[in-house]
Amino acid sequence: MINGAETLLIRAKGGSMNNHNHGVSISMLYPIMKTLVNKGYESEAFFEYVSLDPATMQNPEARIPVEELERIMQCAARYSDDLYFGLNQGQLLDFADLGLPGYVMMHSKTIGDALAAYQRYNIILYSGFNLDWEVAGTDLILQLSLLHSEKQMSRHCVEDMAVSMVYLISKLANRRVELKEVRFSHQAPDASGDLSPYVGMFGIEPRFGATRTLLRMHKDILDQPVLYSDARMLKVFETMAQESKDELHSSQSFSGKVSRWMMESLPTFFPTLQHTAEYLGVSIRTLQSRLREEDTTFHEISVQVRKEMALRYLQKGTYSVGDIAYALHFSEQSAFQNAFKKWTGQTPGQYRSSLKQPMQPRS
C-alpha cells in the first residue's frame, strides 16, 4: 500500500507550453472524474479507455493542452453514453475544484468582485478561456469564449462552463439566479428538439446556433454580497493566486526554469546550487549572475518553491503534515512547521482548518 509520502513521489512530466498558451491545470480533470464516479463508473477503467496515465492526476502542478481536456471530455461523454455530459457536469462543480481562483471568488465582497477575480486569475486554471461581461440597460450579459475565436470549443466544454457559472453565482449569492436568456454558438444535440434537459438546468430554453455564447440576467446580481465573504482570507488567497499567475507568466524566464527544475526534483531530492547549475549547463557563477539580473537569488527561489508546494499539498487535503515535511526535505516535522508559520503566520494545521471554516455561512 502506498503511503502519503510515497504518493508525493509520483511526478507527471507534462509537455512544454509556449508563453501565450499555458494550457490547462490538471485540476480541470477532477470534475470529469467526479461526474463519472457519480454515475457509477470506475476511474481506473476510464483512465485505460482514454489512454490517460493515472500518475498524471497526482501532480498538482501538471498542465495539459486545452485540446487534451476537450478530448477527454468528449471521451467521457461517449464512455458514459451521456448526450448531456457537460451540462450535467456543471452542476457538480465546487469551489475547491477551481483551486485558488475558486477560493478568491468565495471570499470576494460582491458577485461583481468574484466575477472580476475569476476573470483575473482564470489563467491559473484554463488559459485561452475568456469570461467577459457588459451591462446593457438593466441586464448583465456574461459572454463565454476562447482567446482564439476561429476555433470552435467543444459543446460539452461550453455547456459545462455555462452551467458552472450559473451554479457558482447562485451558490455565492445563496439564491437561484434567474436567467433572462441563454445562447449557445453550437447547435442543439437532440434532433428531436427536446430541450427539457436545458430547461431543467437554466429555467428557460436556450437559443442555439447564435453568433456568441452568453448568459443574460439582471444587473443587480453584481452588487449581491457574497455569502462566504471574508476580507482576511481574501487577502491570503489573492496573494497566492497572484503568485501562481506570475509564475505562469515568468515560466520562460531563467528564474522560472530554476523554479520548475526544483519542483520536478522534489520530492525525490532537494537540488543544491551545484545540481542546478549542472542541470542548466552553466557555471555556479553564471547561475547566480543571471538570477541577480532577474532580481532574485537561488535561496529566494528555493524558499518560494517549498512554500508554494506546501500550500498546494495542504489544500489538496490528502497528505499529512509529516508526509509534506518529508517530501519537501525538511530535517524534521517541527522544522517544516516553524518555516510554514514564518511564511504565513499560521501553523500547517491552522491553515488547513481555515480552508474549511469559510464554507459555513456566518450567523
Q: What are the mean pLDDT values of the chain's consecutive 10-residue runs (363 residues total)?
A: 36 33 77 93 93 81 81 94 93 86 94 93 76 91 70 82 94 94 92 88 94 94 94 93 79 78 85 90 92 90 90 83 93 93 90 66 37
Return the pLDDT at 128.
59
Return the pLDDT at 182.
97
Grid coordinates representing 233 are 482570507
- The CA distance from 80 to 83, in Å, is 9
Kindly tell me the sign of the dihedral angle through the C-alpha atoms of 93, 97, 98, 103: positive
Specify the residue for cell string 512544454. Answer: 16
CB hemisphere CA count around 114 (13 angstroms): 29
- The CA distance from 217 to 295, in Å, is 46
State the burial class of residue 187 (Cβ atoms within 10 Å of its Cβ: 0-12, 13-18, 19+): exposed
pTM, entire model: 0.63
Residues contacting 55, CB < 8 A, separation 6+: 10, 11, 12
Phi-psi group of 29: left, alpha or beta (phi > 0 → left; psi -120 to 50 → alpha; rest → beta): alpha
Calculate the CA 314 to chain-centre distance. 15
Return the pLDDT at 2.
31
Peptide bond into 267 cis (omega under 30): yes
Return the pLDDT at 15.
32
- The CA distance from 198 to 205, in Å, is 6
